[in-house]
Amino acid sequence: MRVLLVYPRFPKTFWSFDRAVELMGHRVLLPPLGLITVAALLPQHWDFQLVDCNVREVSEDEWAWADLVILSAMIVQKKDLAHQIGLAKRHKCHVAVGGPFATSSPDAEELKGVDYLVLDEGEITLPMLVDAIDNGTLSGQFRAGGDKPDLTISPIPRFDLLERNAYAMMSVQFSRGCPFQCEFCDIIVLYGRKPRTKTPDQLIRELEVLHALNWRGEIFLVDDNFIGNKRNVKLLLSELATWQARHSYPFSFTTEASIDLASDEALMDQMVDSGFNRVFLGIETPDTTSLTEAGKHQNTRTPLLEAVDAITGKGLLVMAGFILGFDGERSGAGQRIVDFVNQSSIPVAMLGILQALPKTALWNRLDAEKRLLKLDTEFETGVQTNLLNFLPSRPMEEIALEFIEAFDHLYEPCNYLKRIHQYSTLLDGQRYQPRISLKSFLAHLNQPTALTGVLTLFWNQGILRKSRWLFWAYLIDTLLKRPQVLDQYLWMCLLNEHFLEYRTVVREEVTNQLSWSRAHTNELVRA
**341 and 203 in one domain?**
yes
H or E stretch at 34: helix 33-41
Read off the CATH number of the domain in which 341 is found: 3.20.20.70
Judge whether 510 lies within some domain: no
Which amino acid is it at 208?
E
The pLDDT of residue 25 is: 87
Model confidence pLDDT, tens digit, residues 146-190: 999 999 999 999 999 999 999 999 999 999 999 999 999 999 999
Judge whether 499 lies within some domain: no
User: Does 527 have pLDDT greater than 60?
Assistant: no
The pLDDT of residue 341 is: 98
The pLDDT of residue 442 is: 52
Model confidence pLDDT, tens digit, residues 86-96: 999 999 999 99
**158 and 77 in one domain?**
no
Model confidence pLDDT, tens digit, residues 375-387: 655 555 567 788 9
- Which burial class, exposed, middle or buried, applies to 195 when counting CB atoms under 10 A from its CB (0-12, 13-18, 19+)? buried
The pLDDT of residue 412 is: 96
Domain extent, residue 51, equals 2-142
The pLDDT of residue 447 is: 58
H or E stretch at 526: strand 525-526
The residues with which 83 forms a beta bridge, in sequence order, are: none
Domain end point (choices 142, 163, 185): 142
Q: How confident is the model at residue 429 (pLDDT cuts 50, 70, 90)?
A: low
**164 and 138 in one domain?**
no
**256 and 184 in one domain?**
yes
**134 and 208 in one domain?**
no
- Of residues 435 and 153, the one with the higher pLDDT is 153
Judge whether 214 lies within some domain: yes
The pLDDT of residue 445 is: 53
Judge whether 374 lies within some domain: no
**172 and 67 in one domain?**
no
Across the chain, what does the average pLDDT equal? 93
- Dihedral over Cα of 172, 173, 174, 179: its sign: positive
* Gap between the Cα atoms of 216 and 436, Å rounded: 9
| Number of structural domains in the chain | 2
**168 and 115 in one domain?**
no
Read off the CATH number of the domain in which 23 is found: 3.40.50.280
The pLDDT of residue 448 is: 63
User: Does 201 have pLDDT greater than 80?
Assistant: yes
The pLDDT of residue 316 is: 95
**165 and 126 in one domain?**
no
**80 and 32 in one domain?**
yes
* Gap between the Cα atoms of 47 and 42, Å rounded: 10
* DSSP string covering 163-189: -GGGBSSEEE--EE--S---TT-SHHH
Q: How confident is the model at residue 518 (pLDDT cuts 50, 70, 90)?
A: confident
Average pLDDT over residues 20-35: 94
User: Does 517 have pLDDT greater than 70?
Assistant: yes
Judge whether 527 lies within some domain: no
Judge whether 448 lies within some domain: no
Compute and round to an integer the Cα radius of gyration of the chain: 23
Nearest to 383 by CA among 501, 281, 494, 502: 502
Does the pTM of the predicted model rise above 0.75?
yes
Nearest to 1 by CA among 45, 60, 64: 45
**189 and 119 in one domain?**
no
For the chain, give the percent of residues with pLDDT over 90. 86
Model confidence pLDDT, tens digit, residues 288-347: 999 999 999 999 999 999 999 999 999 999 999 999 999 999 999 999 999 999 999 999
**160 and 134 in one domain?**
no
Average pLDDT over residues 400-421: 97
Among 35-39, 133-137, 384-388, the minimum mean pLDDT is found in 384-388
**283 and 242 in one domain?**
yes
Judge whether 27 lies within some domain: yes
The pLDDT of residue 383 is: 73
